[in-house]
Amino acid sequence: MGSRGRLVLAAVVLLAACTPTDEPATPAGAAPTPAPPSAAPAATGCGSRIETGLLPEWAHGGFRGEPRIAHVFGAKGEIVAVLFGHPLRQPRTDGSNNKILWVPRPATTSPDPTSSPTLVITATLHGTDTRVTRQVTGGPGPSIIDLPQAGCWHLDLRWSGRTDTMDLVYADG
């Protein structure tokens, strides 16, 4: 691990160590502002804003220092997708993976004991009927999320009785 701000996350070390971006920080706890990333078609408005600054304080667990890495907030702010495989691509032709660390905002109430902790992701390709489901067993955490093709995907996220949504753009491999 280099001394230039490499981030270490114990749960992700098994997947890979990643180097954060050197772009300006977003203040911790700042509210997400939906805006399409440059890879999203401007006419559709598809795509949640990709932040490249400081992760919110509640998502710092397991990181050293001030973690600055690409991430996307859920529309309700209940979860953040930390994009270790940024930019996401489909198919990946460079040998890397679409690594996403899902970090939920701490719950203010006890989780529903009858609800599964598994993170269930229902992804719909923007402008089509193409729909797929992916799961992160055990709940939000490290994952590799590959989708069938490039494009803007709307994700419905469900775990432990909680929900949120976001759009993620997968560029052409």
> For residue range 74-126, what is the model confidence (pLDDT) as tens digits?
999 999 999 998 999 999 988 899 999 999 999 988 878 889 999 999 999 99
State pTM to two decimals: 0.74
Dihedral angle of Cα 89, 102, 160, 77, to the nearest 10 degrees = -100
Tell me what percent of the chain is helix, strand and coil, each rounded to the nearest 5: 5, 35, 65
Dist CA 14 CA 171 (whole Å) = 25
Cα–Cα distances in angstroms (integers) from residue 122 to residues 20, 42, 173, in the given order: 28, 24, 22
- pLDDT greater than 60 at residue 4: no
How much is the pLDDT for 22? 33
Q: Three-state SS for 15?
A: coil
Determine how many CB atoms are found less than 10 A away from the CB of residue 51.
23
How much is the pLDDT for 32? 39
- pLDDT greater than 60 at residue 136: yes
Dist CA 69 CA 6 (whole Å) = 10
- pLDDT greater than 90 at residue 37: no
Better-predicted residue by pLDDT, 113 or 5: 113
